[in-house]
Amino acid sequence: MAYLEITLQVAPAERPAAAGVYEKYQQPFLDAAPGAVSKELLVRDEDVQVLHGFRTAADATAYLESELFTRDVVGELSPLLKAAPDIRIYDAAA
């Protein structure tokens, strides 16, 4: 199992729009991204995180290069961001 964590700096007023992007692409992600297992939206006072679960770290890396991510998700989220997203991949395999 591997996790892709994307932390987004989104102003509180823009969070409903960011959540809408999450909801719009949650099922397409689960249906089409190779190795996709889960996707969760985590909202904190300081930021918004999207935690993606994958079978492997290679699947997570491939998703970051996919059109679904680069064109669709990034295209819709970019105007809402106050800073570049912090992207991290964690490999939970022991």
Per-residue model confidence as pLDDT tens digits over 21-49: 999 999 999 999 999 999 999 988 889 99
Q: At 92, is the pLDDT very low, low, confident or very high (cuts 50, 70, 90)?
A: confident
- The answer to whether 6 and 69 have CB atoms below 8 angstroms apart is no
| Class of CATH domain 2-91 | alpha beta
Q: What is the pTM of this model?
A: 0.92
Residue 28 in tokens? 């397409």
